[in-house]
Structure 1
Amino acid sequence: MPLWRRSGLDRITDITLYSRPGCHLCEDAEARIRRVLGRSSSRLRVVNILEDRELEDEYVFRIPVLSINGVDVAEGEITEAAVRKALRPPVVSGGHQ
């Protein structure tokens, strides 16, 4: 089974990277995220925070920020391991009695 299917990527509806032009950490993060996504059907949306004043106010000192399904899950120097962890589906424990 492909990694993207094992990792739950087929259930993720929104993968967003908040970024800005000239940000080398953002460029590195985008490359790492795209490498992890590989051939999955999930698509990365890159948002330039400078085009929206509210986003700029919220993220200017935090970028790059990776958001999955509307939840910020990683920021700053985003590693491939951090991306994989963020994309992993939550473990649900079965309540055996």
Structure 2
Amino acid sequence: MTNDDSAASAVRTVTLIGKPGCHLCDDARAVIEKVAGETGAAVEERDITRDEALYARYWEQIPVVLVDGEQHTFWRVDEKRLRAALTAG
């Protein structure tokens, strides 16, 4: 494996689970975009109104933030804590 391969496999992914019209989701998105931009993490969003399983699991907690598929936080995103999670080796 070359250094380029290991760098590509090391990209972290932040997933924002929310719904349209959610002001806390908008706040979370702003923090996620800032921190992901600084750390090089990929960002994806999932809409609970379009996914029954996500709705059933998270509807009381949105916005929910996952880091590499594991729940990191919900409701409010702490910028320092997210940055630490994304830069942890």
Q: Name the TM-score class by shorter chain.
A: 0.7 to 0.9
> Are residue 64 (structure 1) and residue 57 (structure 2) matched?
no
Runs of 4+ in structure 1 off by over 3 angstroms are none
**Does the 8 A contact of 2:14 with 2:68 survive in 1?**
yes
Number of corresponding residues: 82
What is the TM-score when the length of structure 1 is the normalising length?
0.73
User: Percent of aligned pairs with the same residue?
Assistant: 32
Q: SS in structure 2 opposite 1:38?
A: helix
Let me know the Cα RMSD of the aligned residues.
2.1
Question: Higher helix share goes to which structure?
Answer: 2
Please give the residue correspondences for 1:25-44 in structure 2 after superposition, counting only pairs within 5 Å.
25-38=24-37, 40-44=39-43
Structure of larger gyration radius = 1
Unaligned runs of 5+ in 2: 1-8
What is the TM-score when the length of structure 2 is the normalising length?
0.79
